[in-house]
Amino acid sequence: MSTVPQQLTPEEIQRRRKRSVAIAMVLAALVLIFYVLTIAKLGPQVLNRPL
């Protein structure tokens, strides 16, 4: 089934770009949260391992 491509105005494209940036920032924040949370849960012992 074919769909008619919708023509976005420059303003709509700009809004979409800002939403994409916001989603990227939220995803980056989630990565950071899980990293920091892991370190906090494991504690300093995470660094105590044989080299």
Partner 1 sequence: MTTLSNTAIPDRPFVEASTSGGEVADYFALLKPRVMALVIFTALVGMTVSPSHVNPVIGAISLLMIAVGAGASGCLNMWWDADVDAVMTRTRTRPIPAGRIQPGEALSFGLTLSVGSVLVLGLAANWLSAGLLAFTIVFYAVIYSMWLKRSTAQNIVIGGAAGALPPMIGQAVVTGSIGIEGTVLFLIIFIWTPPHFWALALVKAGEYARAGIPMMPNTAGPDSTRRQILAYSVLLAPLGLAPVFLGFGGLIYGLVGLVGGLAMVGLSVQVLRRREGEAANKAAMSLFGFSILYLFLLFSALLAEQGLGLFRPVLG
Which residues in this chain contact partner 1 in the complex, by CB under 8 A?
6, 8-9, 12, 15-16, 18-19, 22, 33, 36-37, 39-41
- Is the CB of 10 or the CB of 50 nearer to partner 1? 10
- Is the CB of 9 or the CB of 48 nearer to partner 1? 9
Token pair 């906090």 is found at 40
- Is the CB of 19 or the CB of 46 nearer to partner 1? 19
